[in-house]
Amino acid sequence: MRFTLPRDIYYGSGAIEQLKNLKGKRAIIVLGGGSMKKFGFVDKVIEYLKEAGIETRLFENVEPDPSVETVMKGAAAMREFEPDWIISIGGGSPIDAAKAMWVFYEYPDLTFEDIVQPFSMPTLRNKARFIAIPSTSGTATEVTAFSVITDNEKGVKYPLADYNITPDIAIVDPDLAQTMPKQLVAHTGMDALTHAIEAYVSTANSPFTDPLAIKAIQMIFEHLLNSYEGDKNAREQMHYAQCLAGMAFTNALLGIVHSMAHKTGAAFSTGHIPHGCANAIYLPYVIKFNKKCAMKRYADIARSIGIDGSDEECVKVLCEKIDELNKKLGIPKTLKEFGINEQEFKEKVSNIAKLAVGDACTGSNPRPITPEEMERLLTCAYYGYEVDF
């Protein structure tokens, strides 16, 4: 068994100033669509690196759901510039993309097929080390061993997983998260809550991951709503809470809330379901399904946020609390309410159920699930039916 995290996590308002103390020659800075530039953070980063005597080059415009082409372009830019630091700033996408670029920078002859097998990557850090600076409070990719890259040609997503791509340094500076629009706060916050809850009940949970998951859950219940409403301190606390959740799930893995979100996010022509929003919708349904095998663990979670009673009562109230939180965050209770067309749902649900059972996150779910049960569960989440099987 193994527990792996970045060697350093710098946190606090203004923490990006730590870049002044970096030792190295050249840093490539990998960015998304431009908001980090617009808010002045990229200029600051370049300035701090200049003070450290480090030459910089930008790789910009990594798209949402980053593609194989973008990754290969970035890797080529790295081979040309030869950075000894890769610094990625932004939401999940530029950081995920930069992780994959890093692999192909160090090993130009590899292909995605070579590295898609979990925990099969060759040793990195022969050419560069990696810094991640997140601007959203959810994916926690700054501390995880994961990256998702999309092959548009083949229409598949490569979920990469290997402790080699766990960043060396995470800079969790809440100033960057203050720029998030309200709905992004809601969705990413519920993604983080799902990470912590799934990590706590996962079959791979451990004494090393439990305290991180529980603390994250407590902080999210305390701060998410206020963060959504614009409270600056709450926004800061959420930035740390999602990081703790990431430290838990990169080591304890996830469960079928994520399996369902992965396979439904882009499945319907009637609307792309944002990752965190999909998780938020499925979470209470999955708890009701999983409780047969994980009642005690869910009751622990409930008690950690001040709910009491029997295990059964605790879990019931926990689900009600999640429903209530979703409601206040403007998240629908069902796929139907989200706007997914009923006819299309009926046509696709059986195939989606099979794909979800085959998702990489299903293996660590506390209760095994068949494609037939998955279809029933998705149907409950579509119509809002009670999960009683």
Which residues make up the interface to Fe ion (CB under 5 A)? 191
Largest CA distance in the chain: 62
Tell me the residue number closest to Fe ion, measured at CB: 191
Least distance from C-beta 229 to Fe ion, angstroms? 23
- Using the minimum distance from each CB to Fe ion, give the nearer residue, 19 or 100: 100
Shortest approach of Fe ion to residue 66 CB, angstroms? 16
DSSP string, 63-126: PSS-BHHHHHHHHHHHHHH--SEEEEEESHHHHHHHHHHHHHHH-TT--HHHH-STT-PPP--S
Beta strands in the chain (DSSP E): 8-11, 26-31, 55-59, 85-90, 129-134, 146-151, 156-161, 169-172
Residue closer to Fe ion (CB basis): 106 or 191:
191
In the complex, the smallest distance separating the C-beta of residue 138 from Fe ion, rounded to whole angstroms, is 7
Residue with tokens 């095998």: 293
Whose Cβ is closer to Fe ion: residue 18's or residue 250's? 250
The nearest distance, CB 254 to Fe ion, in angstroms, is: 7
Instruction: Work out whether strand 26-31 and strand 8-11 pair parallel, antiparallel, or are unpaired.
Output: unpaired
The minimum distance between CB 239 and Fe ion, in angstroms, equals: 16
Name the minimum Å distance from CB 30 to Fe ion.
Answer: 21
User: Which amino acid is present at 104?
Assistant: F
Q: How many CB atoms lie within 10 A of CB 233?
A: 11
Q: Toward Fe ion, which CB reaches closer, 175 or 191?
A: 191
C-beta closer to Fe ion: residue 173 or 191: 191
Q: State the minimum distance, in angstroms, from the CB of residue 275 to Fe ion.
A: 6
Q: What CA dihedral angle connects 270, 271, 272 and 278, to 10 degrees?
A: -100
Q: Could you tell me the CA-to-CA distances from 4 to 12, 203, 258, 331, 346 in Å, in that order?
A: 22, 17, 21, 33, 42
Measured CA to CA in angstroms, residue 310 lies from 21, 181, 263, 291, 316 at distances of 52, 39, 35, 13, 10
Indicate the residue among 18 and 202 with the shorter CB distance to Fe ion: 202
Structure tokens at 140: 């926690």
Q: Find the shortest distance in angstroms from Cβ 328 to Fe ion.
A: 21
Helix or strand or coil: residue 15? helix
- Cα–Cα nearest to 166, from 18, 4, 3: 4
Q: Which is nearer to Fe ion, 16 or 378 (CB)?
A: 378
Closest to Fe ion by CB, 129 vs 195, is 195
